Structure 1
């Protein structure tokens, strides 16, 4: 760490200490972000003490196996991925790392060949440059790297998939982009296209067309590195969906997504298929022949009944006032508790700490438009949410 600090100071930049698997120096020199990550000097990849210790082995492998004449092919692939927001193995992007790009060029020899081969990739595709494994080992290999869409064996470590960070969505986006470029090659696909935020008119039209309701949980993101923040945010969204869809409640989430500017705004978006329920709820009890359970059921609901208890077929039934009529009410009740209870409910620890300090549940379209006005990228996120592209290739 001291070496990293010294380098940034000599370059007259600013720095801070960040934490991932272990501490590292994150600096800014003349507007350029620089990460200086220490690693242990180990003899082989079998003696790793941290994930970063592989880097010197990767460098040596590339120096030996990636000819200089292929450097431009690597740059083309990286630029193509960057322009289409697929470059990076970070938790936000879930795309292709620089090392994966270099290995793909070593394998296929050119940018165009990578695209052509990608069209034939299927989920669970295996690429083994050093031929560590035989064809008959591939089914076992897919179990080893369970449900990883691209398995690109690290030439320096046969037990590691260099493409493990690649999500299924990124995998199919790349295949779709490859198909599009090969059909109609054009320079513009190598440059970021300006994304426009959704307008108030468009948002209202989308909701009227879909006949759904958006429920947003807004809070301040925890001060952790993005590679910690994004997985926790996604797990939080999963947990919120399961809270709403517990068997005794009939709320239904159509789709969910997460957004954060990684500074002062984090949002979990829940698009509700069913967000409001009737005031009354029917509880069906045991059969009348089940005397003990019938007694307990009748005792439990006799003071709560709006109608009944009555007989439905051979069962006792009762109508009671529903505890939560709206998804907002259910979420507010579930989240308005101490941090320890939030964590016990399965809310990720850093997110739980922030939620316990305060949150807002938003479903009013005007409030959502206000958020778009304050944070342009949130508006871009909303547009991409509604304008899901067709990822079927062929």
Structure 2
């Protein structure tokens, strides 16, 4: 079968034949548990459970409790569920390669070559396992109905200050694409920006992405997307030290001296050559701005995802620290994003 639309009638028919009313109640428990944990939704923003995956897991294990007990011991790459027994307990080599890197494999009863859990990210898989472990140790209604999420601006401010780090947001017009295209591109760009910062010795502690939401078919004009970097090092000294080869590896030592004597001074530490050279960039904000100010062709060439690159090329703004707090005071969704980032927990 080629598409989700093609499969849907077959899914519905299979579920109607295999999911009893009693099991439907167990499915609702699992969905509630996943929603409370923030891992319900197979779209590229959430990267979690689909409703169909919940149904198949309950059919396989018979109850929510049995599933949680089993999942508490899961390991990535070792979960293989095939309720229709299409593959007689063993995946063909071709499918092993196709599903490589996916933490769990749940074969679609109506499509033997499809993994229903393909959207499940490794991070959400791990969080689900931890939640199951915690639930088995101490069951609580809080696993299904957690306290409502609220953004407290004073708490956000205090937490940001207490960390002693630097927060930089890249703000740009939301690309006019659907969510399933947007979110992978935001993540890919964030990872690339992190790598660029690290190449110049600016330590990135973590990153996160956020975007305003648009309705189906609504234009993205007036909406924004954000890539946030939290830096542990954002100012650097004018010089940097480069460690070279041992003096006694003569060809490499000669090359090192030839290269670095033009750029700075060279000396010996222990048995190795060491050079001191001037840095090109001393400030992370300036380097980030420079990296994103290139023409569209160059942005794409350096690894900025295509739709993000097109939007950034039209214009972007860097929002730092106090300015982020001011933006949060005007945008409750942005404030909630910051609150969730700063208050993350395993479960």
Partner of 1:361, secondary structure, is: strand
| Aligned residue among 231, 240, 246 for 1:281 | 240
Deviation of 1:163 (Å): 0.4
Pair 1:368-2:324 in alignment: yes
Q: Is the 8 Å Cα contact of residues 153 and 329 (structure 2) preserved in structure 1?
A: no
- Deviation track 1:193-242 (CA, whole Å, cap 9, x = no partner) reads 3112143454344443x332222212121111111110000001011011
For residues 63 and 284 of structure 1, do their structure 2 counterparts lie closer, same or farther at Cα, with a shift above 3 Å needed? closer
Which residue pairs with 1:212 in the alignment?
Answer: 165
Q: Is the 8 Å Cα contact of residues 281 and 322 (structure 1) preserved in structure 2?
A: yes
- Deviation track 1:116-171 (CA, whole Å, cap 9, x = no partner) reads 22212221211111222344558986544112112111111221110010112222
For residues 137 and 326 of structure 1, do their structure 2 counterparts lie closer, same or farther at Cα, with a shift above 3 Å needed? same
Greater mean deviation of Cα atoms: 97-106 or 252-261: 252-261
Deviation of 1:273 (Å): 1.9
Greater mean deviation of Cα atoms: 228-237 or 381-390: 381-390
CA RMSD of aligned residues (A): 2.9
Pair 1:332-2:332 in alignment: no
Q: Is the 8 Å Cα contact of residues 118 and 175 (structure 1) preserved in structure 2?
A: yes
Partner of 2:168, secondary structure, is: strand
Which residue pairs with 2:110 in the alignment?
Answer: 156
Equivalent-residue separation in structure 2 for 1:294 and 1:99 (angstroms)? 60
Deviation of 1:98 (Å): 0.7
Pair 1:383-2:339 in alignment: yes
Greater mean deviation of Cα atoms: 62-71 or 83-92: 62-71
Pair 1:53-2:9 in alignment: no
For residues 285 and 64 of structure 1, do their structure 2 counterparts lie closer, same or farther at Cα, with a shift above 3 Å needed? closer
Q: Is the 8 Å Cα contact of residues 95 and 113 (structure 2) preserved in structure 1?
A: no
For residues 228 and 177 of structure 1, do their structure 2 counterparts lie closer, same or farther at Cα, with a shift above 3 Å needed? same
Deviation of 1:338 (Å): 1.1
| Aligned residue among 21, 38, 46 for 1:93 | 46
Equivalent-residue separation in structure 1 for 2:335 and 2:56 (angstroms)? 36
Pair 1:297-2:251 in alignment: no
Runs of 5+ in structure 2 lacking a partner?
215-222
Equivalent-residue separation in structure 2 for 1:252 and 1:216 (angstroms)? 16
Greater mean deviation of Cα atoms: 341-350 or 250-259: 250-259
Q: Is the 8 Å Cα contact of residues 207 and 213 (structure 1) preserved in structure 2?
A: no
Deviation of 1:283 (Å): 5.8
Q: Is the 8 Å Cα contact of residues 300 and 309 (structure 2) preserved in structure 1?
A: yes
Larger RCO: Structure 1 or Structure 2 (Cα < 8 Å, ≥ 6 residues apart)? 2
Deviation of 1:58 (Å): 1.1
TM, length-normalised to structure 1: 0.75
Deviation of 1:319 (Å): 4.6
Pair 1:344-2:344 in alignment: no
Equivalent-residue separation in structure 2 for 1:186 and 1:109 (angstroms)? 21
Which residue pairs with 2:217 in the alignment?
Answer: none
Q: Is the 8 Å Cα contact of residues 285 and 297 (structure 1) preserved in structure 2?
A: no
Q: Is the 8 Å Cα contact of residues 285 and 316 (structure 1) preserved in structure 2?
A: yes
| Aligned residue among 2, 12, 31 for 1:78 | 31
Which residue pairs with 1:23 in the alignment?
Answer: none
Partner of 2:27, secondary structure, is: helix
Equivalent-residue separation in structure 1 for 2:307 and 2:145 (angstroms)? 36
Q: Is the 8 Å Cα contact of residues 310 and 317 (structure 1) preserved in structure 2?
A: yes
| Aligned residue among 193, 206, 209 for 1:258 | 209
Partner of 2:31, secondary structure, is: helix
Paired residues, number: 334
Which residue pairs with 1:197 in the alignment?
Answer: 151
Runs of 5+ in structure 1 lacking a partner?
1-44
Q: Is the 8 Å Cα contact of residues 296 and 310 (structure 2) preserved in structure 1?
A: yes
Pair 1:117-2:74 in alignment: no
Q: Is the 8 Å Cα contact of residues 159 and 342 (structure 2) preserved in structure 1?
A: no
